[in-house]
A and B are shown apart, each in its own frame.
Chain A
C-alpha cells in the first residue's frame, strides 16, 4: 500500500533525526516550557525595555544539517525543512501558540462543502529572491512538481496528501484551485510547513539537478547563500521581504544579517562550542543542557515537541506482550514520574497521560482519555501477573510452563539511557529484560519484522490524525505493534472525514482511548525540544513543529 510506504519513510526520517541528536526533536506549541525545579526560568521574550536591533550573524547547530537536499520536493530529511523554511514562504501560517491558521502567501481561501476543493486567493506583491514574481502559476508549478512520479517522493508528497491529492488549477494570476480526491482535515495546516514552501519555478528549472544543493530560491525572509556539505549552510537576510504573516512580532525584513547552520553531530562538542561562544544556539539533550544551568551567558530554551508522546510501545504479536494482563502489569510497574527525575531527563518534559501530548490537543485538554492512563502500582502489577499464571521463580524472575518472563527490547543505542532505568522497575515485579541495541537500521528492521516485545517509540509532526493513523491504523506500514482494532480504525476514519473541530477531536479522542484500553504501550513522557543559546539571542520564535525560527530573532549588543 503506497500510503503506508510513505508513512514508514516519514517515520524513518523523523527518527533518524531524533536519533541523530540523541533525542529531543523539534515540535509544536512554542512556549517556554516549565522550568525544571531549581533551574532558572527559561525565557524567550526580550525584556520590555529592549528594542530589537538590526544586524549580526548567528551560528546555529542542530547536529547534522541536511544529508540529502534542500529541495523540499524530494527531501525526506527533517532538518532540511527546518532550514529551508527560512528561505521559502508557505501559503498558510500556523500560530504556534494556539494552532490558528493565518494567511501567508495565500490571503484567503474557501473550502468546498465536500471538503475536496480549496480555492486560494494569493498575494500579488511577492517576488522571489531571483526577482521573478510569485503567482498562481508558481503554486501550480510547485505542486505539480511535488506530485511528479519520476522524482523521489519526499515529505512534501505525503504532506499534500499523497495519492489523495488530485490536481492544481490556475484560475487567474492570483487565484488557484486545489482539488483533492478525499477530504483532508489537515490540509491547511500542512500547507504551513516549510516542506510545502513555494520555490521560484524559474530557479528550479535553471538549477536542474543542482537545485536544492547549489541554489534554493524562495520568497522568505532569508536568502540562500551557500551550502558546503558536511560543514555549513549560510543564509543571508532578504532586504525586500515585506510580507511576513501576522503570527510574528514584526513585519518587514528580518533583523539578523546572516544565519550559519553548522554541522556538529556530537552533542557534547556542540555544547562545548556554545559555551566557547562559537555557537549562538545549539540543539541539545536533557543531560547536556542541565550542565548549562547556572551559566550566566547561556539561556535554556525549551519548547514542547509536536508529535506523539515518548512511548514504550509493545508488540501485540509476540509473547509475552500478546497478553493484555502482561501489558497492564508492565504499565503498572513503570513509575513515569520517577523517570523524569533521573539525569537522562533532568526534570525536562512532563509525565504523559496519553499517546498524544497535551500541547497537541485543543486547550491541552486530554480529560476524555486520561482516565485510561495506567497508574504506577507495583502491587497491582504483581497480582495481574499471578493471575496470568506467571509465578515467581528462584531468581526472582517469573516463569510459566518452563518459559522465563523476559521482555525483549530492540532499541537504538541512543535510547539506552531512557530504557535502562525501566529494567529495575520491571525486575521489581518479576519481569526480566533483554535489551538489544544497534544503529538506526537495526532498530527499524527489528520493528518492521515485529521482532521485539517493547521499544522506545515516537514520531514528530503536528498532525494528530496523521500520527494516530501512522502508528495504530491496522493497515499502516508504520504500525509496528501488530495492533489491529476495528473500533480504532472506525473512529479514526470518522475523525479524518470530520468537518468540524468538535467532530474531528471527539473521534480522535475515542480512537486514542482504544489504544489506551488495549494498553498498546506505556505513554511515558511528553518531550520538549531542548536548546542552549547565548543570552544575547532574543526573540526566537518557534514554528509549529517546535523548531526555532529566526525571523523575529535579534542579537542584543
Chain B
C-alpha cells in the first residue's frame, strides 16, 4: 500500500495533464492532502520508516549479512555481536538476516491480503450502494455475517479449511477484512450517488459500469486509502499471529511471527531471539498506523489546519 500512497501524493499532483479528464475536484485536493500530510510529523516518520523497510526488503540479498537459511550448529543462540548484530537462533542462523528477509514476506502478506480485501470489498460495496434493492440486502447481509466473526477466528476457520501456508493466510486475512471495505464503499457511494455530476453523467447516457468506475470509484477512494493503510498493519499482525501458531509461513521460511514463536522457548536464555522479530512487527505496524492516521486527518476537510 505504501508505494501507491507515495505515488498518489508525490507524483500525481505534478503531472496534472494525465488526470485532466478525471473528476475535477480531485486535482487540487491531492495537493492539499500532500501538504497536510507533510505537516504531520507522525505520519512522515511512519512514511519514512515504511519506505526504508520497503527498500531493505527489495535489497535483502545485498543488505543481509548471511543467507537467511544458513545454519551453523556451532553458533547456536549467540548473543548480539559484531558478527551477528541481532544474535543467532537455536540452529545458528543469523537473526538480522532472517528479520530482513522476513520484511519481504510480511510486506507481501500485508499488500496482497489488503488488495484482495479492497478489490472485492470495494466492488461489492459500490454495487450495493449504487443498485440498492435486493442486491444491496444480499451483499450487506453477507458482510454482516462475516463481521459477526472476530477476525482472528474467521482466519483460523478459513485456514482450517484451506490448510496452513502463507498463501492461504493471505486469502484468510483478505477474506476477513472484506466486510469493512464493503461497508465503507457502500456508505460513500450512497452519499455520492445523488451528486450532480453523477446525475449529469447519467443524463448524457453513461452506462452504470462507467458511472461506477469513472465517477463514483475515484470519489470513494479517500476513506478506503486510509482503511487500506491501517489494514496492511492489521494484516501483518494477523499473519504473524497465524504463523506464531504454526498455521502461516512454514519452516524454514523467515517469517517474523514464526521466528517469534521459535524464540519464545528461549526467552530467558536468549532474549534477542524473540525480541528482534517482535520489534520488527511493532515498528512496521506502528509506522503503518501513524501513516494511516495522518492520511485520515489530511483527507478530512474538517480537520485541515
Task: Give per-residue flags for A303-320: 1 if the beta carbon is below 8 A from chain B beta carbons, else 0.
Answer: 000000000000000000
Contacts of A338 in B (CB 8 A): 73
Most chain A CB inside 10 Å of its own CB: which residue of B76, B250, B269:
B250
Q: A438 on the interface (CB 8 Å rule)?
A: yes
Contacts of A268 in B (CB 8 A): 264-265, 267
Q: Is the CB of A435 within 8 A of B252?
A: yes
Q: Is the CB of A416 within 8 A of B164?
A: no
Q: Is the CB of A342 within 8 A of B164?
A: no
Q: B251 on the interface (CB 8 Å rule)?
A: yes
Q: Output the least CB separation between B258 and chain A (Å).
A: 8
Q: Is the CB of A343 within 8 A of B77?
A: yes
Contacts of A413 in B (CB 8 A): 245-246
The residue in chain A whose Cβ has the minimal distance to the Cβ of B253 is A435
Q: Output the least CB separation between A528 and chain B (Å).
A: 18
Q: A389 on the interface (CB 8 Å rule)?
A: no
Q: A380 on the interface (CB 8 Å rule)?
A: no
Q: A291 on the interface (CB 8 Å rule)?
A: yes
The residue in chain A whose Cβ has the minimal distance to the Cβ of B92 is A342
Task: Give per-residue flags for B248-274: 1 if the beta carbon is below 8 A from chain A beta carbons, else 0.
Answer: 001110000000001011111100000
| Known contacts A342-B76, A438-B164; A424/B69 CB under 8 A | yes
Q: Is the CB of A421 within 8 A of B91?
A: yes
- 6 shortest A-B CB distances, which residue pairs? A413-B246, A424-B71, A343-B90, A421-B91, A338-B73, A435-B251
Q: Which of B71, B77, B246, B251 contacts A438 (CB 8 A)?
A: B246
Q: Which of A287, A419, A420, A436 contacts B164 (CB 8 A)?
A: A436
Contacts of A448 in B (CB 8 A): none
Known A-B contacts: A420-B91, A423-B69, A424-B69. Give 9 more (CB < 8 A).
A416-B246, A416-B251, A416-B262, A421-B73, A423-B252, A435-B250, A435-B252, A437-B164, A439-B246
Q: A486 on the interface (CB 8 Å rule)?
A: no
Mark A residues whose CB is within 8 Å of B: 267-268, 285, 287-288, 290-291, 335, 338, 341-344, 413, 416-417, 419-421, 423-424, 427, 433-439, 442
The residue in chain B whose Cβ has the minimal distance to the Cβ of A421 is B91
The residue in chain A whose Cβ has the minimal distance to the Cβ of B268 is A291
Contacts of B132 in A (CB 8 A): none
Mark B residues whose CB is within 8 Å of A: 69-71, 73, 76-77, 90-91, 163-165, 245-247, 250-252, 262, 264-269
| Known contacts A268-B264, A424-B71, A437-B246; A343/B76 CB under 8 A | yes
Q: List 12 A-B contacts (CB under 8 A).
A: A268-B267, A285-B265, A291-B269, A342-B76, A344-B91, A413-B246, A417-B90, A420-B251, A421-B91, A424-B91, A438-B247, A442-B164
Q: How far is the CA of A287 from the CA of B245 in the complex (A)?
A: 19
Q: Output the least CB separation between A35 and chain B (Å).
A: 18
Q: Is the CB of B266 within 8 A of A287?
A: yes
Contacts of B264 in A (CB 8 A): 268
Q: How far is the CA of A35 from the CA of B267 in the complex (A)?
A: 24
Q: Is the CB of A421 within 8 A of B71?
A: yes
Q: Output the least CB separation between A491 and chain B (Å).
A: 37
Q: Output the least CB separation between A304 and chain B (Å).
A: 23
Q: Is the CB of A343 within 8 A of B70?
A: no
Q: Is the CB of A288 within 8 A of B164?
A: no
Q: How far is the CA of A344 from the CA of B247 in the complex (A)?
A: 21
Contacts of B76 in A (CB 8 A): 342-343
Contacts of A417 in B (CB 8 A): 90, 262, 265
Contacts of A291 in B (CB 8 A): 268-269
The residue in chain A whose Cβ has the minimal distance to the Cβ of B159 is A438
The residue in chain B whose Cβ has the minimal distance to the Cβ of A413 is B246
Q: How far is the CA of A436 from the CA of B251 in the complex (A)?
A: 8
Q: Is the CB of A287 within 8 A of B246?
A: no
The residue in chain A whose Cβ has the minimal distance to the Cβ of B265 is A287
Q: How far is the CA of A439 from the CA of B245 in the complex (A)?
A: 10
Contacts of A439 in B (CB 8 A): 246
Q: Which of B70, B246, B262 contacts A424 (CB 8 A)?
A: B70
| Known contacts A287-B90, A287-B266, A290-B269; A436/B250 CB under 8 A | yes
The residue in chain A whose Cβ has the minimal distance to the Cβ of B249 is A437
Q: Output the least CB separation between A24 and chain B (Å).
A: 14
Q: Output the least CB separation between B285 and chain A (Å).
A: 24
Q: How far is the CA of A434 from the CA of B266 in the complex (A)?
A: 25
Q: How far is the CA of A417 from the CA of B91 in the complex (A)?
A: 9
Q: Output the least CB separation between B300 and chain A (Å).
A: 44
Q: Output the least CB separation between A445 and chain B (Å).
A: 11
The residue in chain B whose Cβ has the minimal distance to the Cβ of A439 is B246
Most chain A CB inside 10 Å of its own CB: which residue of B251, B262, B268:
B251
Q: How far is the CA of A287 from the CA of B269 in the complex (A)?
A: 10
Q: Is the CB of B250 within 8 A of A288?
A: no
Contacts of B245 in A (CB 8 A): 413
Q: Output the least CB separation between B22 and chain A (Å).
A: 46
Q: How far is the CA of A420 from the CA of B268 in the complex (A)?
A: 22
Q: How far is the CA of A434 from the CA of B165 in the complex (A)?
A: 12
| Known contacts A435-B252, A437-B164; A288/B91 CB under 8 A | no
Contacts of A424 in B (CB 8 A): 69-71, 91
Q: Is the CB of A341 within 8 A of B73?
A: yes
Q: Is the CB of B265 within 8 A of A288?
A: yes
Q: How far is the CA of A419 from the CA of B268 in the complex (A)?
A: 23
Q: Is the CB of A420 within 8 A of B252?
A: yes
Q: Is the CB of B90 within 8 A of A344?
A: yes
Q: Output the least CB separation between B264 and chain A (Å).
A: 7
Contacts of B266 in A (CB 8 A): 287, 343
Q: Output the least CB separation between B74 and chain A (Å).
A: 8
Most chain A CB inside 10 Å of its own CB: which residue of B77, B252, B262:
B252
Q: Is the CB of B90 within 8 A of A342?
A: yes
Contacts of A427 in B (CB 8 A): 69
Q: Output the least CB separation between B179 and chain A (Å).
A: 28
